[in-house]
Amino acid sequence: MVNAPTNQFLEQTDNVVTNMNVSAEDLGIRRSYEPDELIPEITLSMVGGIGSMLTQRLLNRFGNAESVLNATESQLQEVEGIGSKIANNISQAHSIYHPEVLIDQCRTNGISLISKQDVRYPQLLRTIDDPPFFLFVKGEFQASDNLAIAIVGTRNATQYGHQQAERLASELSQYGFTIISGLALGIDGAAHRGALSMEGRTIAVLGSGLLHIFPQEHHDLAENIITHGMIISEYLPDQVPQRGMFPQRNRIISGLSLGVLIIEAPLQSGALITATLAAKQRRQVFAVPGRVDQESSRGCHQLIRNGAILVESVEDLLKHFDLPIKSKTQPQPQQKLQPKQKTQPIPQLQSTITLQSPQPPKTETTNIPIPVDWQLNETETKVLQLISVNPTSIDSIISISGLPAHRVLATISLLEIRQIIRRTEANTVIRLIIDSKK
């Protein structure tokens, strides 16, 4: 039986960003990498028996992938978790594995190979303890994907469960949220379809390689998701699904999100594994209550008893993230410096998750003229006044404003979408020149 999470690790989303005492530059986030530049890293990733945590231990010990591959077996076995068999596989990796074949396979099938040091790697996922070293992706990450909610639940969903998953996913999509799920039958599929019904963004995290869509019944759904989001996996493209892969991929589902919403989950359920992982990753756990006489309701009710936030409507989620509740509309393309309309959807977070610096640089408040018809609220005005025409650290904006990190991120995203500011690097933004006549 899976233990449901307890109150002590159902923490606020703020902690996801404020407890990371590293900067984007510390993480080496500078640019995109072509697969041909990462031959040693790809070769190491192909060695069987090495997961993300062992890979990181090896890199910590030897400095880089090439040095790992050139180490002796005795040196490799000095690393915790590396036995003689894995050490032998690593030492012979150059002759056993052929990364060029994998690269050609990805290119032929339209699969992007994104390493952890790549600027395209999702920042939320980077903050978990064991992020995948590589992601195989069909589709592209967008700025909006950091405002994401995972929706998961049982494969054997009731009609009620299907209805709630589709309803909440579609309404969250109208507010600019990306919906994360696992492409499974039941609640997962309903969540993806709910997002797609509003032409919203959705991401499916697979427990297999991208060339082996599972379940097969969702092959067409996966193709539809690619056109409105992406499908991703940490497994090699031709990896067939195996039972143990699905719990492992659940950490990615929760890691890509700001919070996880559970809809229908028995006490022994993979969805509760995702809830437990989410809470350990300092993501908020939400749960939809169900019928008291249904086995599929017991996991959700247990989560609520242990501190998960009870969700009856989309407003319950918006309140948690301090996002205003406005009229829902289909997202519309924004023109440069257009005034905000009352029916504009909730802002989408930009592609950078703020990493708190120990001593952020000082930023001076500037009283810039702001056209009245922009209808900026107090928070938006405060954040904009802290952004210079020169690169400004998002860490410093959070520090000086005194606002919660997730509120600053949401506000920055709104200003960026409206093209009032622009992101220049992983953790900096600039204010665009304002023409007060516009």
pLDDT in tens, 94-144: 889 999 999 999 999 999 999 988 888 988 898 888 999 999 999 988 878
Q: What is the pLDDT of residue 416?
A: 73
117 or 336, greater pLDDT: 117
Query: Do 230 and 148 touch, CB atoms closer than 8 A?
Result: no
The chain-wide mean pLDDT, for the chain, equals 81
Q: What is the pLDDT of residue 407?
A: 74
422 or 111, greater pLDDT: 111
What are the backbone dihedrals phi and psi of residue 111, each rounded to the nearest 5 degrees, phi first?
-105, 125
Walk me through the domains of the chain, giving residue ranges and CATH numbers.
31-110 (1.10.150.20), 139-320 (3.40.50.450), 333-438 (1.10.10.10)
For residues 115-126, one letter each, b for 16 or more C-beta atoms within 10 angstroms of the residue's C-beta and e for the rest, the string is bbbbbbbbbbbb
Q: What is the pLDDT of residue 319?
A: 85
Give the torsion through C-alpha atoms of 165, 140, 224, 109, to 10 deg.
-140
pLDDT average, residue stretch 291-318: 93
- Read off the tokens for 338: 């257009």
pLDDT band of 399, cuts 50, 70, 90:
confident
DSSP conformation letters of 62-103: HSSHHHHHHS-HHHHTTSTT--HHHHHHHHTHHHH--HHHHH
pLDDT average, residue stretch 391-416: 81
Q: What is the pLDDT of residue 307?
A: 92
Task: Find where tokens 């993480």 sit.
Answer: 27
Task: Answer whether residue 50 shows pLDDT above 70.
Answer: yes
Q: What is the pLDDT of residue 178?
A: 95
What are the backbone dihedrals phi and psi of residue 179, each rounded to the nearest 5 degrees, phi first?
-100, 125
pLDDT in tens, 184-204: 999 999 999 999 999 999 999
* Residue 329 DSSP symbol: -
Query: For the chain, what percent of residues have pLDDT higher than 90?
Result: 52
Give all strands of the β-sheet with 428-431 in edge-to-edge order.
392-393, 428-431, 421-425
pLDDT band of 324, cuts 50, 70, 90:
low
E-only strand ranges, 283-352: 284-288, 309-310
Query: Do 188 and 150 touch, CB atoms closer than 8 A?
Result: no
pLDDT average, residue stretch 170-179: 94
pLDDT average, residue stretch 409-428: 74
pLDDT average, residue stretch 162-174: 96
pLDDT band of 255, cuts 50, 70, 90:
very high
Task: Find where tokens 């922009």 sit.
Answer: 374
In a 10 Å sphere around its CB, with 0-12 CB exposed, 13-18 middle and 19+ buried, how is residue 243 labelled? exposed
pLDDT average, residue stretch 52-71: 92
Q: What is the pLDDT of residue 68?
A: 94
Q: What is the pLDDT of residue 433?
A: 67
Task: Answer whether residue 72 shows pLDDT above 90.
Answer: yes
Cα(178)–Cα(156) distance, integer angstroms: 24
Least confident piece of the model among 210-214, 260-264, 280-284: 280-284
Query: For the chain, what percent of residues have pLDDT higher than 70?
Result: 79
Task: Answer whether residue 403 shows pLDDT above 50.
Answer: yes
In a 10 Å sphere around its CB, with 0-12 CB exposed, 13-18 middle and 19+ buried, how is residue 230 labelled? buried
Query: Do 194 and 169 touch, CB atoms closer than 8 A?
Result: yes
pLDDT band of 81, cuts 50, 70, 90:
very high
pLDDT band of 32, cuts 50, 70, 90:
confident
pLDDT in tens, 208-230: 999 999 999 999 999 999 999 99
Give all strands of the β-sheet with 148-153 in edge-to-edge order.
112-115, 134-139, 229-233, 202-205, 178-181, 148-153, 259-263, 284-288, 309-310
pLDDT in tens, 352-383: 323 233 333 344 445 666 666 677 888 888 99
> What separation in angstroms does the CA of 268 have from each of 1, 83, 281, 398, 399?
5, 33, 21, 40, 42
